[in-house]
Amino acid sequence: MTENILDPADCSTMAEVRAGVDDVDRRIVTLLQRRFGYMNAAARIKPDRSAVRDEWRKADVLAKVDGSAADLGVDRQLMARLYEDLIETSIAHELEVFDRTRD
């Protein structure tokens, strides 16, 4: 399917833009599925519930994302907001999985 997807700069119609956005969204969902698979693994591996929230790791992820955003010329504040929400959602998911698998 991606062979028909144009780079954003090459799009000249809204249909081309929408096809590109839809393709990116499919890829993002696939990557998020994989990311949350790692959250499931973390919930299985961590020895106790208090280990789920790791503020050092959260700060580390945010710093790495900030560096990647800077390298790519992406809005760093936007990435920080998106990743803050993603990390907090990931922690909530991990806590839910931890509790469900330990009960």
CATH number (domain holding residue 36): 1.20.59.10
Residue 103 confidence (pLDDT): 74
Give the model's confidence band at 32: pLDDT under 50 very low, under 70 low, under 90 confident, else very high.
very high
Q: How many structural domains comprise the chain?
A: 1
* Residues 90 and 35 sit within 8 Å (Cβ to Cβ): yes
Amino acid at 19: A
Q: Is 5 exposed, middle or buried, given 0-12, 13-18 or 19+ CB atoms closer than 10 A?
A: middle
Residue 2 confidence (pLDDT): 54
Q: Which residue has the tokens 């920080």?
A: 80
Domain that residue 31 falls in? 2-102
SS3 88: helix
